[in-house]
Amino acid sequence: MTTNSINNLNPNNFYVQKTASGTTVTETISQTSDTAGATARQLISVAGTSSANPCMKFNIIDTLSGFAVGPDNSSSDIFKVVIGSNVNPSNGSPVLTATQAGIIQQPTQPSFLAYLSADTGAVTGDGTAYIVICDTEVYDTNLDYASATGVFTAPVTGKYCFYTFAFAISAGSAGQDEGHVHILTSNLQYIGQRYNPINSVYSGAISFVGSYLADMDSGDTCVMRLNVGATGAKNVKVGGGTPDGFVQTYFCGNLEC
């Protein structure tokens, strides 16, 4: 049995309904005139600033979970796409916002920045590829970076940008004729700045930088590593903290697309 109806079941609430397994219910607004000024549009409005929000909602009926799209009348009419259970632009969790000035933000887009809070012990210099654990988070919008292990885990498949800066203390002593910073993902290793040879004038300290665009699948991991030396002594530390107000070693990244 198929039931189609357009009715006013409750005061001022109209329903377009169809009950038929395996079929589709469609609402169509169509302007069939192909002439100048012929327009098709749907207008959703409220009376003023004391009103609630003009919006569209997309719900899964069983759970009331889904999306709401529209301006937030309680917050300078910022346009929002929000998620949640039976939500509206004022109370849902924003996944995209646009101000009246056209500034667009994605509040939950994967993005992080962390730095090393203090110098490590001697961790490389003999060719060891040391995982640099930047243990102090500045931000981590989607909680994808683990500051205890230095591991970033991709929440979705995509292209990720990463940036590394490592300050190596004592790099350049005997046998340490090569050094580089790199990231290691579940799929590939990407090398950043590399010194080969490391000049002896850097025997006090040397910085290594890197920028990368990595392909990652959902659940893949990425770490930052520093490798100094080949036959030298394991006497190289990674400089941490913020002496003179500058972060010495950091790791950051974001989902690009």
The model's confidence at residue 166, banded by pLDDT at 50, 70 and 90, is very high
Question: Model-level pTM?
Answer: 0.83
Region 82-110 average pLDDT? 93
Which residue, 115, 223, 116, is CA-closest to 160? 223
pLDDT tens track for 171-197: 777 778 889 999 999 999 999 999 887
User: Backbone phi, then psi, for 209, in 5-degree steps?
Assistant: -125, 160
Q: What is the pLDDT of residue 4?
A: 52
Region 99-120 average pLDDT? 96
Is the sign of the CA dihedral 61, 66, 71, 75 positive or negative? positive
Residue 249, token pair as written in the block: 């070693």
> Which DSSP helix (H) or strand (E) runs through 238?
strand 237-238
Considering the segment(s) 111-255 as one domain, its CATH architecture is Sandwich (2.60)
Q: What is the pLDDT of residue 34?
A: 94
pLDDT tens track for 13-45: 777 777 888 888 888 888 999 999 999 998 999
The model's confidence at residue 232, banded by pLDDT at 50, 70 and 90, is confident
Mean pLDDT of the chain: 90
Domain coordinates of the chain in residue numbers? 3-31+43-105, 111-255
Region 121-150 average pLDDT? 96
The model's confidence at residue 1, banded by pLDDT at 50, 70 and 90, is very low
Exposed e or buried b per residue across 16-32, where buried means at least 16 C-beta atoms within 10 angstroms of its C-beta: eeeeeeeeeeeeeeeee
How far is the C-alpha of 161 from the C-alpha of 152, rounded, in Å? 12
Q: What is the pLDDT of residue 27?
A: 83
